[in-house]
Amino acid sequence: MLQINRKVAMKIACVVGARPNFMKAAPILRSLEKNPTTEIVLIHTGQHYDEKLSGVFFEELGIRAPDISLEVGSGSHAVQTAAVMTGVEEILTQAADRNVPFDCLIVVGDVNSTMAATVAATKVGVKVAHVEAGLRSGDRSMPEEINRLITDSVADLLLCSEPSGVENLLKEGHSKESVHLVGNVMIDTLFHQLSAAREKDTLQRLGIGGGEYGVVTLHRPSNVDRPETLGALVEVLTRVAQRLTLVFPVHPRTKAKLTEFGLMAALNNCDGIRISEPLGYLDFLCLTSQAKVIVTDSGGLQEESTALGVPCLTMRSNTERPVTVETGTSTLIGSSAELLKSKLNEVLDGTYKQGVCPELWDGRASERIAEILISC
Ligand code: UD1
């Protein structure tokens, strides 16, 4: 049962659900909890529930145990979304019935839990602050794009990580007062954890040296759900691995598809490819921070590689994070094996032109968010 402190000036719920949420929420919680009159209730929806996709992140990022766990687990998008909506609605209405209502709910990112919690809160009259608002890929076949559009259309406070977010929201008709450029909270966590990550023995355990390898991650449905697309990617990776060792921590969705399509053996039998389970935050940061190149379809990794100064070859034809392309820290490869090979060659030959980190990706975004929330 939650202990309610009746002297608090502001009562905030913070919702997390899936792996990319945890590193975004950690610095926000830290900044808000510095204010003694703010009560934070941490809700974990349980969209990700594995130790490797969830538990280890709480431990390594120093996030306290959730106050409430909804344990929604896996399911179709509708099933997952409905379970989060039902759970969040119940928490918020019960608090209001007990006369200790929530003033605000914070959501981060673009996962199903983000969108579901936003819709439930808005409908029961609790204000929503969306961190990482306004990002748009323009690609409605991505579930995350639908989540972004729905979340932003009803959220009250829209906190953006890059200028394109502000522009998109103003174009969509949001008022200037509701939109704030605060910078990138993911980078707050990265800077906070980098020295601890560099002390890990991750590279020794993998038997590789700094700067001698590439890191691969793939999990987007558009890349992994069809045998022909995933097969072509596996083929390219095995060819690239002849020139550069590739470390590939495999997401559960990707592992299931590789197994289903009979592609696992090609990766396992390739000398230059090191397959691993999904890594914890510190091991993964240890790995990416010393990589020669990153090949990925992850949104977050496009940003982390930007702050780390490691070239990112993005296996997508669009990105909701255009600043990474404009400043030249990420190159969109689509699914072109030829382009991937030629960009990798540039990286290996030292002719790849690496960009610079955008403004406000300075490790202090969560402080700016806390100031805005507390002054609202
Ligand atoms: C979700 C997010 C995506 C994010 C990604 C990072 C949405 C729409 N997608 O995609 O934006 O980049 O997380 O990981 O919210 N599974 C496990 N263990 C778990 C969780 C899931 O094995 O702890 C399995 C599920 O059974 C399912 C697959 O992984 O088969 C996909 O999980 P799901 O959360 O539905 O979507 P992701 O692809 O992980």
43, 13 contact by CB (below 8 A): yes
304, 190 contact by CB (below 8 A): yes
> Token digits for 14?
């913070």
- pTM, rounded to two decimals: 0.95
Q: What is the pLDDT of residues 2-14, one digit of tens each?
A: 444 446 789 999 9
pLDDT at 121: 98
Q: Which of 24, 45, 47, 315 to mutate to test the pocket of ligand 1 (most atoms within 8 A of CB)?
A: 47
- Torsions phi, psi of 351, nearest 5? -105, -5
Asked if pLDDT for residue 16 goes beyond 90, the answer is: yes
Quick one: the chain helix, strand, coil %, rounded to 5?
A: 50, 15, 35
Q: Which protein residue's CA is at the shortest distance from atom 20 of ligand 1?
A: 48
Q: What is the pLDDT of residues 305-357, one digit of tens each?
A: 999 999 999 999 999 999 999 999 999 999 887 898 899 999 999 999 999 99
Q: CB under 8 Å to 323, separation ≥6 — which residues?
A: 162, 163, 164, 358
> Directed axis angle between helix 365-375 and helix 185-198, to 10°?
140
Q: What is the pLDDT of residues 201-246, one digit of tens each?
A: 999 999 999 999 999 999 999 899 999 999 999 998 998 899 899 9
Partners of 43 in beta bridges: 15, 68
44, 68 contact by CB (below 8 A): yes
Q: CB under 8 Å to 96, separation ≥6 — which residues?
A: 102, 124
| 180 tagged catalytic | no
pLDDT at 376: 79
- Ligand 1 contact via 74 beta carbon (within 6 Å): yes
Measured in Å, how far apart are the chain's first and last C-alpha atoms? 28
pLDDT at 2: 44
CA of 250 to the centre of ligand 1 (A): 12
Q: What is the pLDDT of residues 133-160, one digit of tens each?
A: 999 999 999 999 999 999 999 999 999 9
Asked if pLDDT for residue 171 goes beyond 50, the answer is: yes
CA of 60 to the centre of ligand 1 (A): 20
Asked if pLDDT for residue 114 goes beyond 60, the answer is: yes
pLDDT at 92: 98
pLDDT at 3: 46
> Directed axis angle between helix 227-240 and helix 252-260, to 10°?
100
CA dist 88 → 12, 26, 57, 232, 245 (Å): 13, 20, 22, 41, 45
Residue 162 CA to residue 73 CA, distance in Å, equals: 31
| Summary mean pLDDT of the chain | 95
For the CA of 144, the closest atom of ligand 1 is 8
For the CA of 300, the closest atom of ligand 1 is 12
For the CA of 49, the closest atom of ligand 1 is 23
- Cα dihedral value 319, 325, 330, 331, nearest 10: 80
Q: What is the pLDDT of residues 53-99, one digit of tens each?
A: 999 999 999 999 999 999 999 999 999 999 999 999 999 999 999 99
- Torsions phi, psi of 72, nearest 5? -75, -30
CA of 209 to the centre of ligand 1 (A): 31
Residue 258 CA to residue 274 CA, distance in Å, equals: 15
244, 292 contact by CB (below 8 A): yes
Residue 333 CA to residue 340 CA, distance in Å, equals: 6
Residue 305: name the closest of 329, 277, 274, 331 by CA.
Answer: 329
